[in-house]
Amino acid sequence: MLYRDLGRTGAKVSALGFGCMRLPIVGGKTASDVFNPNNPIEEKEAMRMVSYAIDNGVNYFDTAYPYHGGQSEPFIGRALKPHRGKVMIATKLPAWLVEGKGDLDRFLNEQLQKLQTDHFDVYLLHSLGRATWKKMQEVDAFSFMSRAKKEGKVRFVGFSFHDDFACFQEIADAHPWDVCQIQYNYYDEHFQAGKKGLEHAAAKGIGVIVMEPVRGGKLAGHIPKEIQAVWDTAPVKRTPAEWALRWVWNHEHVSTVLTGASSLAQLQENVRAAASAWPGSLSAEELARVRKVTELYRTMLKVPCTSCAYCMPCPNGVDIPMNFSLYNDSFMFPHDDMAVMMYNNFLGPEQKASSCKSCEACAAHCPQKLDIVKELQHVHQRLMLMPK
């Protein structure tokens, strides 16, 4: 296993981190099951995965309060207790559930108990965006995080992020964070925080944890034949998952990349790929091949939105680029239900396409000349959860 610097913290983390959001569950799983408390973790297989990861040098384990409907933290606490001295535990405070300052300590203490540890190596404010960021400012989460460090309950503090670069930059500049966690892969190079966020964090010495390197499995399974044909012509044969992981690892400022493995076989593949995960190790020809794959995926877009955000802000609060991104995903990756889950569970009521009032304030600003109002109607029709 190769190891990298966790920003300016002085800690070394394995190039491959163990993400605990998509552990195997009894009876199989779909994307929406990662937050479902009624789908118990298949603990025997999950324990085998944790043991294999540790035996092969993985030292960074990432979980969160809501993963597996609250089952992930207790399981990881049990699994890592015998190995606590040689692993780093990262978890996240559920920012959207915080109603007052007292909740900050309450969640932290509850999570320490669940994970059977007296401290977290990394503690993140979970899934920050404009709304949760405002809430964290109101409850003075910065003072709380600083105090948690002084009390020895937390070694390093940070935030995970889902919004645009402007919001990311504001958050990154507001506090002396140790780490941040962003979505980053070859398809989403310029989405959310994106490459600019990665570089901004690195310039400040913030360690960067990458989540969704294979877009929740979309870049690894059910590959369109046109895409697979491009991978098949490469002189060096790699699986689609390895191509995606190697692209992220190619960036020198990435500290660790979280695998979302749901089986021991997937984890073994990821560990093998990590053995040669040197920054700058992909050739110019290999990088060009990844770009070609990205361009091919783009041709499959249902709505040719580039997420430039010139249409924003919407007077009614609709997150137009995010709606179109999820809509496109539902067509590009039809075997996966993550787009429906994200639309119904992660977008606020005002952010959904259904909140469009047909004012057309966005239309004049779209460089692609999209009929945004009409397309938003299609988005909601496709992604809303129908009553059973």
Question: Would 40 be classed as within a structural domain?
Answer: yes
Of 289, 308, 331, which closes a domain?
289
Question: Would 26 be classed as within a structural domain?
Answer: yes
Compute the average pLDDT of residues 101-120: 98
Which amino acid, 374? K
d(CA 39, CA 241): 26
User: Same domain, yes or no, for 53 and 165?
Assistant: yes
Compute the average pLDDT of residues 323-327: 91
User: Same domain, yes or no, for 253 and 352?
Assistant: no
d(CA 124, CA 177): 10
Of 289, 305, 333, which closes a domain?
289
Q: What pLDDT score was predicted for residue 290?
A: 97
User: Same domain, yes or no, for 332 and 255?
Assistant: no
User: Same domain, yes or no, for 242 and 358?
Assistant: no
Question: Would 272 be classed as within a structural domain?
Answer: yes
User: Same domain, yes or no, for 54 and 155?
Assistant: yes
Tell me: pLDDT of 180 over 50: yes
Q: In the structure encoding, which two tokens stand for residue 321, read together?
A: 């680029």
User: Same domain, yes or no, for 213 and 361?
Assistant: no
Residues 222-249: pLDDT tens digits?
888 999 999 999 999 999 999 999 999 9
% of the chain at pLDDT higher than 90: 75
Residues 281-309: pLDDT tens digits?
999 999 999 999 999 998 888 898 877 77
Q: In the structure encoding, which two tokens stand for residue 154, read together?
A: 């937390």
User: Same domain, yes or no, for 215 and 340?
Assistant: no
Question: Would 142 be classed as within a structural domain?
Answer: yes
d(CA 29, CA 260): 13
Residues 132-172: pLDDT tens digits?
999 999 999 999 999 999 999 999 999 999 888 999 999 99
Tell me: pLDDT of 387 over 50: no
- Phi and psi for 189 in degrees, rounded to 5? -60, -30
320 Cβ partners below 8 Å, 6+ apart? 305, 309, 311, 312, 314, 362, 372, 376
Q: ω into residue 313 within 30 of 0, thus cis? A: yes
Residues 330-377: pLDDT tens digits?
888 777 677 888 898 888 899 999 999 999 999 888 877 899 999 999
Give the chain's largest Cα–Cα span: 60
Q: What pLDDT score was predicted for residue 274?
A: 96
Compute the average pLDDT of residues 58-71: 95
- Closest by Cα among 59, 55, 65 to 93: 65
Task: Give the three-state DSSP class for 214.
Answer: coil
Task: Give the three-state DSSP class for 223.
Answer: coil
Whole-prediction pTM value? 0.84
User: Same domain, yes or no, for 73 and 198?
Assistant: yes
What DSSP element (H or E) covers 258? Answer: strand 254-259
Q: What pLDDT score was predicted for residue 35?
A: 63
User: Same domain, yes or no, for 221 and 336?
Assistant: no
Compute the average pLDDT of residues 241-261: 96
Question: Would 53 be classed as within a structural domain?
Answer: yes
User: Same domain, yes or no, for 48 and 134?
Assistant: yes
Structural domains in the chain (count): 2
| Tokens 């105090």 -> residue | 147
Compute the average pLDDT of residues 306-317: 85
Whether the CB-CB separation of 210 and 184 falls below 8 Å is answered with: yes
% of the chain at pLDDT higher than 70: 97
For the chain, the average pLDDT equals 92
Q: What pLDDT score was predicted for residue 29?
A: 54
Query: Which structural domain, as residue segments, surrounds residue 336?
Result: 320-383
d(CA 337, CA 244): 20
Residue 30, number of CB atoms within 10 A of its CB: 14
| Rama region for 194: left / alpha / beta (φ>0; ψ in -120 to 50; rest) | left
CATH code where residue 275 lies:
3.20.20.100
Q: What pLDDT score was predicted for residue 126?
A: 96
In the DSSP assignment, the letter for residue 81 is G
Flag the least confident range among 36-40, 225-229, 259-263, 313-317.
36-40
- Closest by Cα among 158, 234, 220, 157 to 185: 220
What DSSP element (H or E) covers 44? Answer: helix 43-55
Tell me: pLDDT of 179 over 50: yes
User: Same domain, yes or no, for 202 and 145?
Assistant: yes
Task: Give the three-state DSSP class for 348.
Answer: coil
- Closest by Cα among 58, 85, 89 to 75: 89
User: Same domain, yes or no, for 203 and 339?
Assistant: no
Q: What pLDDT score was predicted for residue 27?
A: 78
Question: Would 302 be classed as within a structural domain?
Answer: no
Residues 10-60: pLDDT tens digits?
999 999 999 999 899 887 654 445 666 777 899 999 999 999 999 999 999
The residue count for the chain: 388
Question: Would 369 be classed as within a structural domain?
Answer: yes
Q: At what angle do helices 372-383 and 338-345 cross, to 10 degrees?
A: 100
Question: Would 307 be classed as within a structural domain?
Answer: no
